[in-house]
């Protein structure tokens, strides 16, 4: 019998490090992500934001350090049931060469939920893609592709939703739509969301806590209001103030 008690911390990282070809691209001394919160991770390109998401989705093992999820230390390849609690929407959605509807149903089919067409239809409605449900993904615009990618993740009702620059290069209509869907998912399903972005305005609009990554190092984590109005680190003040930070 599993006597596991739900941990208040969803993720807990300690001395977590990721190296590529001998070069450290991410080194986090300590970071906790709370259950049910939206955390934004901001930082310039190449600061290690996407690498952090890959570790949080167990797509790659850490080079060193500890990663705890749901109160348990995570091995290099966690069990499938644990992996399936988390999903990521990538910056460049890799849609399958199938219909929009088949793409949205994909994750459910992987889990054996073949007949859940109602859930797929409902999710397509949420992202405003019902009319294009039978279209192939090759005919979609960038914004439509990102909405399908988001629908493909939302339909799974994951405990943790990881978003890697979900609105990069999108028009204001799609940005608004995607931001409202993120907020809705949080409210409806109490999903824990980690949003990676270099758009500080978006971070401020959506997140309850924000973190700044620079050169793979965590500079500061604070509640959104504090992060923007009274950061303790000058580099955070410079970044949210729109100055280039190195």
- Give the footprint of other proteins on this chain (CB under 8 A): 54, 57, 59, 80, 83-84, 86-88, 90, 92-94, 96-99, 102, 106-107, 109-111, 152-153, 156, 162
> Residue with structure tokens 């570790």?
55
Q: Please give the backbone phi and psi of residue 92, each rounded to the nearest 5 degrees, phi first.
A: -110, 100
Quote the CA–CA distance of 49 and 54 in Å, as a whole number: 9
> What is the closest distance, in whole angstroms, from the C-beta atom of residue 97 to other proteins in the complex?
6
- Outline where 72-171 has alpha helix (H): 80-83, 100-110, 117-126, 142-154
196/210 with CB nearer other proteins? 196
90/239 with CB nearer other proteins? 90
> What is the closest distance, in whole angstroms, from the C-beta atom of residue 3 to other proteins in the complex?
26
Contact 26, 18 (CB under 8 A): yes
Candidates 221, 229, 226; CA nearest to 43 is 221
98/125 with CB nearer other proteins? 98
> What is the closest distance, in whole angstroms, from the C-beta atom of residue 108 to other proteins in the complex?
9
> What is the closest distance, in whole angstroms, from the C-beta atom of residue 44 to other proteins in the complex?
21
162/196 with CB nearer other proteins? 162
> Residue with structure tokens 């989705």?
57
At 219, is the secondary structure helix, strand, or coil? Answer: strand
């Amino acid at each position: 019998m599993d006597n596991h008690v739900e941990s208040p911390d969803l993720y807990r990282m300690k001395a977590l490090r990721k190296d590529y070809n001998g070069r450290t691209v991410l080194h986090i001394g300590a970071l906790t992500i709370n259950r049910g919160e939206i955390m934004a991770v901001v930082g310039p390109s190449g600061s290690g934001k996407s690498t952090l998401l890959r570790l949080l989705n167990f797509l790659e093992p850490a080079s060193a350090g500890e990663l705890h999820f749901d109160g348990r230390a995570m091995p290099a390849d966690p069990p499938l049931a644990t992996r399936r609690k988390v999903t990521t929407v990538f910056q460049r959605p890799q849609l399958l060469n199938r219909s929009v509807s088949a793409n949205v149903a994909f994750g459910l089919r992987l889990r054996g939920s073949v007949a859940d067409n109602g859930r797929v239809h409902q999710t397509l409605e949420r992202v405003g893609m019902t009319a294009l449900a039978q279209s192939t993904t090759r005919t979609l615009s960038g914004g439509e592709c990102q909405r399908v990618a988001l629908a493909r993740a939302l339909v799974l009702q994951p405990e943790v939703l990881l978003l890697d620059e979900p609105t990069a290069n999108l028009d204001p209509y799609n940005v608004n739509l995607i931001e409202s869907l993120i907020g809705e998912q949080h409210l409806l399903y109490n999903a824990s969301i980690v949003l990676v972005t270099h758009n500080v305005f978006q971070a401020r609009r959506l997140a309850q806590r924000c973190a700044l990554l620079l050169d793979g190092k965590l500079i500061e984590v604070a509640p959104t209001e504090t992060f923007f109005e009274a950061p303790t680190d000058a580099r955070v003040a410079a970044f949210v103030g729109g100055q280039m930070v190195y």
